[in-house]
Amino acid sequence: MSRPFDPTLYLVTDTALARPRPVADVVRAAVAGGVTTVQVRDKTASRRELLELTRTVQAALADRPDVALWVDDAVDVALLAGADGVHVGQDDLPPAEVRALLGPGRLLGFSVSSVAELDVARALPAGTVDLVGIGPVWTTPTKPDAGSALGPGGVRTLADAARAAGFTTVAIGGIDATRAAEVAATGVDGVCVVSAVCTAPDPAAAARALRAEIEGVRV
């Protein structure tokens, strides 16, 4: 069984957007402000660089075992670093193959943007995929190839179906503090952000603002 985790505010790192600050510093501040889970993503990094980055972020989270650490796509890096999970997209390794490599104890996330893509996850044996990332909610420059925007209504439809199938759900794409409540109201388990935290002058304050919007809907 995969470890429990809190998806409420899910941060995906972006090395370029974080500059000139080290990614680990942004993560440390963001977690202090309310981020509950972190994915290390850097599509431009070599595997060696990604491993180094993951270990640096891991060290920044050493006193926060409650915060799950994911690696984007790179199963080998996640295993070498001892990360909690891996997140894969539609064009990455098949989820069933990734699960076989990860074993039962680590988390596996899978990106979906349509019912057909969700059906891929639903067709897998129970326990293969733990989390589905639904998006993009709105178009975003951090992932210009992510497809057409779903909007909150589209997210709600996919989230309802995904949760009925037993998946934890997060929504991603163009979300900031002004939109977080609207996304949380769709019924997803968590809100996923990149630039809203990575570009913020004060990542802790940005995370606090996002959490306040999310929790305001849940009250």
Between 62 and 146, where is the model more confident?
62
Average pLDDT, the chain: 96
**Residue 43, annotated as binding a ligand:** yes
Residues 6 or more apart whose CB falls under 8 angstroms from that of 175 comprise: 137, 138, 183, 191, 192, 193, 196
The mean-pLDDT minimum among 63-67, 103-107, 142-146, 198-202 falls in 142-146
**Residue 195, annotated as binding a ligand:** yes
- In this structure, whether the domain defined by 9-218 belongs to CATH 3.20.20.70 is answered with yes
Please give the share of the chain, as a percent, with pLDDT higher than 70.
97
Average pLDDT over residues 47-75: 98
- Whether residue 219 is predicted with pLDDT greater than 80 in this model: the reply is no
114 is catalytic: no
Domain locations in the chain as residue ranges: 9-218
pLDDT digits (tens, 9 = 90+) for 176-193: 999 999 999 999 999 999
**Residue 188, annotated as binding a ligand:** no
208 is catalytic: no
Average pLDDT over residues 92-101: 97
41 is catalytic: yes
Q: Which two three-digit tokens encode residue 175?
A: 């979300």
The one catalytic residue in 41, 106, 122, 156 is 41
Average pLDDT over residues 103-125: 97
- Whether residue 95 is predicted with pLDDT greater than 70 in this model: the reply is yes
pLDDT at 2: 75
Please list, residue by residue across 118-148, b when 16 or more beta carbons sit within 10 angstroms of its beta carbon and e when fewer do.
bebbbeeeeebbbbbbbbbbbebebbeebbe
pLDDT at 135: 97
Q: Which two three-digit tokens encode residue 92?
A: 């990455």
**Residue 111, annotated as binding a ligand:** yes
Average pLDDT over residues 38-50: 98
Q: What are phi and psi of 122, to 5 degrees?
A: -70, -25
**Residue 194, annotated as binding a ligand:** yes
The one catalytic residue in 2, 28, 111, 179 is 111
**Residue 141, annotated as binding a ligand:** yes
The one catalytic residue in 28, 99, 143, 156 is 143
Please give the share of the chain, as a percent, with pLDDT higher than 90.
93
